[in-house]
Amino acid sequence: MNEPSFAGFEMKLNAIYAAEPRDGFVQGLEKQLLSPRTAKTHFWQWWVRDLRQSRQVRLAWTAVVILLLAACVLATPQGRAWAQTVVHSFLGYFSVTDKTSLPLAETPRPLPTYSVEPALLPFEPKTTPAADPARCGATLTWLTATPRCQLLNVQDEARFDLKVFAMTDISLRIEGVSFFQNFAHITYFSDDGTQSFRLWQGLGDFPPLGVVHADALKQVTVGNHPAELVVGQFANFVGKSTSNWDTWLPPVQLRWREDDHWYSLSGDRFYWTGDKIQEEQLVQSVMAFAQGLVPLSAETSNLAGNVDQTPEERVGFHILTPATLPEGCDLNGVWFGTQNERLEGTVVVTYGCMKNGQWVSGITLYEALASNKAVDFFQSFTGYYAAMKYDLIQDEMIQIGHASGRYMVRTGDPSLGDSGSTALTWEQDGLKLMLTPTYAEASYGGRYTQTELIAIAESLK
């Protein structure tokens, strides 16, 4: 039997295209190619021998091949991960630059419109309605809530399921939980004070979280999700007009997406650890935490950070709080001292004071058991354990209620905006305590007097 010529086959293709110029072309072509005579005898002959077919046929076959390949690729998890990688390479989760030095943008600071208010008022910390009253009680404060209850409240505000760290061989505590500008932020510290980890998460696009050097960017994966890893940061040093790419004890930064959610995880080690934590170890820890994230809704007990302990349960004593504070003050947060800071077993409670929408000042209260010999607030205040040492320009024995105390003023470093810090230290109710004020401006707005600070200290209950 005579075989049809290639020219005849091409005429059939053109006829199909003319009759079905859009969607029907592919179906008609498929019907012709799958007929026993045509498919078996002429398909490969036509494909290889003749490069003169019409532009429409070439385009149609290209579309068919692309669709078939896409279907095959996307049918497997590996294929979907590969496709995400291709798209991801054009997106970029970090803002990058090839420069190693960036000029600092000069942001004009508004003139202060406040002064420190010496008048003390009765104080009660503000409360927040609990998202889960059955588990957490009706209201929350930083001093009474467990980290899990704080996380539940942030999750309720965020309107998406938070992911959190699972337990690993690194013992962690949660130092802060917040929801800001449509994303959630959780801060973890290692119990030994050598490392910290910060997890941001949200919906939609990544927020502007800083610029990194292009050469530091590495492609990795978190599960089946493409991710970007950076070791280093642009850092500004006091007195410099530029921000320089810094790789001395650098942070590790990791970002990835999972469907509509984005995640950013960073790990830091602190200068006092020296070489105790190697860069490779920190990278491994960041990757391990990212791979092991679990949904808060999973209700697992395998969550890192002592999530079901209140601050008082963690330190093992009743935490004293002031009954009077300056107007505009509120409880800001609670954190815990570390062994490396010589503050192991210490709870640190911070209060911030606002006026006219501006932060004015703060009061920080350090508390530890009087029997805790590892804690010496005098040495902590004078920088005995730190790289920078301070001299005292005033050191006076005072009376705080029925207890003898110490009022100290140390030298400041004007280059750091520090015109001298003040502290009270004393013992009360089986605790050793230190109270220190902080100020928004180094040389403006006034200062709390010794009498006012003693009045705050005497109001502790």
Determine the average pLDDT of the residues in 413-435.
80
Specify which of 54-58, 82-86, 142-146, 153-157 reaches the highest per-range mean pLDDT: 153-157
Specify which of 22-36, 72-86, 415-429 reaches the highest per-range mean pLDDT: 415-429
The residue that leads in pLDDT, 61 or 205, is 205
- Distance between CA atoms of residues 367 and 319, nearest Å: 7
Determine the average pLDDT of the residues in 150-176.
92
Fold of 311-458: Protein Transport Mog1p; Chain A (3.40.1000)
Architecture (CATH level 2) of domain 146-298: 3-Layer(aba) Sandwich (3.40)
Determine the average pLDDT of the residues in 104-120.
67
Torsion over CA: 449, 450, 455, 456 (sign): positive
Read out DSSP for 423-458?
EEEEEETTEEEEEEEEES-SSSS----HHHHHHHHH
Query: What pLDDT digit, counting tens, does each position of 249-296 carry?
Result: 678 999 999 999 999 999 998 755 555 568 888 999 999 999 999 999
- CA distances from residue 185 to 175, 257, 292 in whole angstroms, order as listed: 11, 16, 17
- Distance between CA atoms of residues 60 and 409, nearest Å: 82
311-458 matches 146-298 in CATH topology: yes
- Distance between CA atoms of residues 42 and 58, nearest Å: 16
Find, among 32, 116, 30, 54, the residue nearest to 353 by Cα.
Answer: 116
Asked if 256 contacts 222 with a C-beta cutoff of 8 angstroms, the reply is yes
Asked if 167 contacts 288 with a C-beta cutoff of 8 angstroms, the reply is no
Mean pLDDT, the chain, whole residue set? 77
Asked if 328 contacts 354 with a C-beta cutoff of 8 angstroms, the reply is yes
The residue that leads in pLDDT, 39 or 178, is 178
Name which of 236-245, 334-343, 412-421 the model is least confident about: 412-421
Query: Token digits for 157?
Result: 């505000």
pLDDT at 428: 94
The residue that leads in pLDDT, 27 or 125, is 125
Query: What pLDDT digit, counting tens, does each position of 217-252 carry?
Result: 999 999 999 999 999 888 876 567 788 888 776 789
Determine the average pLDDT of the residues in 16-41.
38
The verdict on pTM exceeding 0.75 is: no
Share of the chain above pLDDT 70, in %: 70
pLDDT at 109: 61
User: Where exactly are the structural domains of the chain?
Assistant: 6-75, 146-298, 311-458
Determine the average pLDDT of the residues in 330-353.
85
Asked if 143 contacts 126 with a C-beta cutoff of 8 angstroms, the reply is no
